[in-house]
């Protein structure tokens, strides 16, 4: 995975594009080595219009491109103006792109080498293990019709965990052991999205480096840093059009699953049953979060949320039957629906893990660990924190 090398003054200015399933978030951040967290100078999010019926893949991609270009115009105008007001000498040095499903896939594989006697770990041995992992990942991608049809390309390769004799080692080269294993992750994005990103880069930020990561990998790395003692975790990332699950075992992201349903599924259900617009439904969600809905209206929202949660439950039962479910689960969802989703999902999660532990979320206290200046967008805050602190996540130093 690509690292961001610090400049001589210890300050890096970066532009973030967070491509979610229903919106494009943009941000400009200042990353100082001496600070705990980055400084968010500017942030904004452009939403894709929600219709009663799900769009075709071609139409959906077109709408995403339009939202991306709209967001790029805003960052080139308002964002750069905010940067100049913050520091007239500041210049953007990095462009950092993250993609959630369905605009990305995150595939992980574990490989291991064992010998009868102690062996010295070399860079060549690490490379051979990485090639073995990537070979298995490539084979899985070729068997996936959906990835083949949409023409996905690999945008990142990350070795996120290396162990010698089952002990995690940050820099294994030169050490000895009877067994060495590693977890390798490959991130994929559709070719159309990659082209759109480079169109933006060429028009607004020519000659500036672009790095792309899947949002699931970014979220995994941030959570791993926030909860260093939690080595088993289920990540549930609920966006507008999709929900992505990530299973972490032994501190390593070992499996991911994408369900083609999200909070827009709830909105479409209510738009159909109540003959309301998306704007009206979004207002209901805001009133729900504020505790201002009537009992009847709250029951209508809860009914649609329950239907969506049943979809997630069915997918989890179908796909995770052979895997022991982690005892800790973390949910990331739009602010206005987080509390209701946690309430409705908790009974099922607790049944699966046979434990009464509640779902973890980005509470107010935890948000302080990922953002400055009360930025209301946890997704951009997560990416900014990764950019600032965890850009080496998954890298192995060369000796």
Residue 1 pLDDT more than 60? no
Q: What is the mean pLDDT of residues 224-231?
A: 86
pTM above 0.75, yes or no: yes
Could you tell me the strand order of the sheet in which 39-47 lies? Answer: 39-47, 23-32, 11-19, 94-99, 209-214
Q: Give me the torsion for CA of 74, 79, 84, 85, rounded to 10°.
A: 110
- 181 pairs with which residues across the strands? 112, 163
Q: 349 with 359: CB under 8 angstroms?
A: yes
pLDDT at site 99: 93
Residue 267 pLDDT more than 70? yes
Q: What is the mean pLDDT of residues 275-283?
A: 88
Q: How confident is the model at residue 86 (pLDDT cuts 50, 70, 90)?
A: very high
Q: How confident is the model at residue 391 (pLDDT cuts 50, 70, 90)?
A: low
Residue 393 pLDDT more than 60? yes
Q: How far is CA 232 from the centre of its chain?
A: 18
Residue 187 pLDDT more than 70? yes
- State the CB neighbour count (10 A cutoff) for residue 351: 11
115 versus 11: which is more confidently predicted? 11
Residue 398 pLDDT more than 80? no
What does pLDDT average to over the chain? 83
Least trusted range by pLDDT, from 28-32, 241-245, 298-302: 298-302
Q: How confident is the model at residue 237 (pLDDT cuts 50, 70, 90)?
A: very high
User: Which helix (H) or strand (E) segment is 182 a member of?
Assistant: strand 176-190
CATH of domain 11-102+192-217+366-389: 3.30.420.60
pLDDT at site 397: 46
Q: How confident is the model at residue 8 (pLDDT cuts 50, 70, 90)?
A: very low
Report the phi/psi class of residue 166: left, alpha or beta, with left for phi > 0 and alpha for psi in -120 to 50. left
Calpha distance 261→265 (Å, rounded): 6
Calpha distance 71→77 (Å, rounded): 10
Q: How confident is the model at residue 145 (pLDDT cuts 50, 70, 90)?
A: low
Least trusted range by pLDDT, from 197-201, 222-226, 318-322, 393-397: 393-397
Residue 370 pLDDT more than 70? no
pLDDT at site 390: 63
pLDDT at site 67: 94
Calpha distance 283→87 (Å, rounded): 37
Nearest Cα to Cα of residue 238 among 48, 354, 47, 379: 379
Q: How confident is the model at residue 152 (pLDDT cuts 50, 70, 90)?
A: confident
Least trusted range by pLDDT, from 71-75, 159-163, 328-332, 338-342: 159-163
Q: Which two tokens stand for residue 227?
A: 């909860």
3-state DSSP call for residue 193?
A: helix
Q: What is the mean pLDDT of residues 206-221?
A: 90
- What percentage of the chain has pLDDT greater than the value 90? 25
How far is the CA of 95 from the CAs of 17, 85, 205, 298, in angstroms?
8, 20, 8, 42
Q: What is the mean pLDDT of residues 179-200?
A: 87
Q: What is the mean pLDDT of residues 44-56?
A: 86
Please state at what angle helix 278-290 crosses helix 263-274, rounded to 10 degrees. 110
Contact residues for 223 (Cβ-Cβ < 8 A; gap 6+): 230, 233, 235, 248, 330
327 versus 391: which is more confidently predicted? 327
Q: How confident is the model at residue 257 (pLDDT cuts 50, 70, 90)?
A: confident
Q: How confident is the model at residue 322 (pLDDT cuts 50, 70, 90)?
A: low
Q: Which two tokens stand for residue 66?
A: 């339009």
pLDDT at site 105: 84
């Amino acid at each position: 995975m690509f690292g961001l090398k610090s400049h001589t003054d210890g300050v890096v200015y970066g532009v973030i594009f967070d491509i979610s399933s229903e919106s494009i978030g943009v941000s400009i951040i200042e990353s100082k080595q001496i600070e705990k967290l980055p400084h968010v100078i500017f942030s904004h999010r452009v939403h894709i219009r929600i219709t009663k019926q799900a769009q075709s893949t071609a139409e959906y991609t077109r709408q995403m491109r339009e939202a991306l270009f709209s967001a790029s115009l805003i960052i080139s105008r308002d964002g750069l103006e905010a940067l100049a007001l913050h520091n007239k000498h500041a210049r953007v040095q990095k462009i950092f792109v993250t993609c959630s499903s369905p605009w990305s896939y995150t595939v992980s594989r574990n490989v291991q080498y064992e010998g009868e006697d102690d062996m010295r770990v070399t860079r060549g041995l690490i490379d051979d293990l990485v090639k073995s992992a990537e070979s298995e990942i490539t084979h899985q991608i070729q068997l996936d019709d959906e990835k083949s049809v949409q023409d996905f390309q690999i945008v990142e390769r990350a070795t996120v965990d290396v162990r010698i004799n089952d002990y995690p080692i940050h820099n294994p080269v030169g050490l000895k052991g009877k067994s060495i294993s590693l977890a390798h992750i490959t991130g994929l994005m559709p070719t159309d999205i990659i082209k759109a990103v480079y169109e933006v880069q060429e028009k607004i930020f020519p000659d500036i480096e672009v790095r792309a990561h899947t949002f699931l990998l970014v979220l995994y790395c941030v959570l791993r840093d926030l909860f260093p003692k939690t080595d088993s975790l289920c990540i549930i990332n609920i966006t507008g059009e999709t929900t992505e699950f990530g299973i972490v075992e032994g501190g390593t992201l070992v499996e991911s699953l994408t369900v083609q349903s999200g909070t827009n599924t709830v909105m479409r259900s209510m738009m159909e049953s109540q003959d309301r617009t998306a704007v009206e439904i979004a207002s209901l969600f805001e009133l729900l979060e504020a505790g201002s809905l009537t009992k009847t209206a709250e029951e209508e929202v809860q009914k649609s949320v329950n239907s969506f949660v049943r979809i997630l439950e069915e997918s989890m039962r179908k796909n995770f039957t052979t895997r022991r479910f982690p005892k800790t689960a973390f949910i990331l969802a739009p602010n206005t629906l987080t509390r209701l989703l946690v309430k409705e999902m908790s009974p099922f999660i607790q049944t699966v893990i046979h434990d009464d532990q509640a779902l973890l979320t980005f509470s107010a206290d935890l948000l302080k660990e990922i953002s400055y200046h009360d930025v209301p967008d946890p997704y951009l805050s997560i990416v900014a924190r990764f950019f600032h602190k965890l850009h080496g996540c998954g890298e192995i130093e060369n000796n």
